[in-house]
Amino acid sequence: MSNVQTIRIGADEGDQRIDRWLKKRFPQLTQGAVEKMCRTGQLRVEGGRVKANTRIEAGQEVRVPPLPEGAAPAPAAKPRVKQSDAEMIQSCVLWRDEHIIALNKPPGLPSQGGSGQGDRHVDGLTEALMFGYKDRPKLVHRLDKDTSGVLLLARTDRIARALSEAFRHRLTRKIYWAAVAGVPHPRMGSIKYGLVKAPGRGRGGEGEKMMAVHPSDVAATEGAKRAHTDYAVLSALGGRVSWVAMVPVTGRTHQLRAHMAEIGHPIVGDGKYGGSGQENLGDGWGAQLGGEISRKLHLHARMIRFEHPITKKLITVTAPLPEHMARTWKTLGWSETDVPEDPFAETA
């Protein structure tokens, strides 16, 4: 029997069921064994009892009881990254040093594997980002599959822990850009609706969607979490569409998409939260603009600013817009150089 272990959930391991997390870590375990650990109170998160379907968050500590001996099944040999994929992911590097790599993740590429995602994702391509190091870099946060922009990877475990802590304690600064239907009023404000997962979605999390909960109802709503987004309108085309900067003060699943839809201004191209078949004809609702505007999601992680864990210097990384958003910006007459890097700081 192995000894009791205390394992901290990594930054790229949060927001999943504990039974799935445990079986990934220890493939020799059966579902029945995991459920027995939960029933008997041997498996605990932050000192508390859990059920097999309890969802874990990055940074939490899990007590794992002694496990039966027996080697885990030998992992299937992973194919090497295809040359075309290696060149693609290397071309996404915006900045790197011996500790950190910053990518401009393209839209359509998942951050990591999951239900229905297949084998082609950033985490699966990190072999091509070793650049002479013996270990593959590690994701320290995630972006939705269809969201583009700045994504950080740590080149060592020490840096991964430091950056994960910075994200957990909100010591990093992230600014997203989006095109949204209509023009939010006021033009600068905060959205503080809580979020709760909608019931009845796919068994493996596919089709996951979040529902907004009024701030006064969060405490009484099972599973709801408080969420906070700051936004600022940077430019607008009449009452039909606007360019919005957003800061996710909290980091909930689909937070920016759900929050903008809740206030009546869904992100352009967001069929999940803005209605895939609705064309926006004026201020207020509909995720599709029609004409020459792409139907892809117009959400981009534009900038991230963080203190370097080793040098202690303030690092700012900015990602250019993906092709479909750049075309929209050109069509609407918007220029990346016309707005401040941090519009919230400008008005502070």
- Half-sphere exposure in the Cβ direction for 36 (13 Å, CA): 8
Is residue 215 within 8 Å of 192, Cβ to Cβ?
yes
Per the residue annotation, which of 144, 146, 270, 283 is the catalytic one? 144
- Half-sphere exposure in the Cβ direction for 228 (13 Å, CA): 4
Element (H, E) at 36: helix 31-39
299 forms beta bridges with: 178
Element (H, E) at 163: helix 157-168
Pairwise CA distance, residues 258 & 325, whole Å: 20
Tokens 């794992």, located at residue = 64
Both structure tokens of 121: 């994702």
Both structure tokens of 77: 């040999």
Pairwise CA distance, residues 287 & 294, whole Å: 11
Tokens 């979040």, located at residue = 210
Angle at 52 between CA 47 and CA 58, to 5 degrees: 55
Residue 287 neighbours by CB distance under 10 Å: 26
SS3 332: helix
Pairwise CA distance, residues 130 & 125, whole Å: 10
Pairwise CA distance, residues 290 & 181, whole Å: 12
Pairwise CA distance, residues 54 & 17, whole Å: 5
> Is 135 assigned a catalytic role?
no
Q: At what angle do helices 18-25 and 31-39 cross, to 10 degrees?
A: 120
Catalytic machinery residues: 144
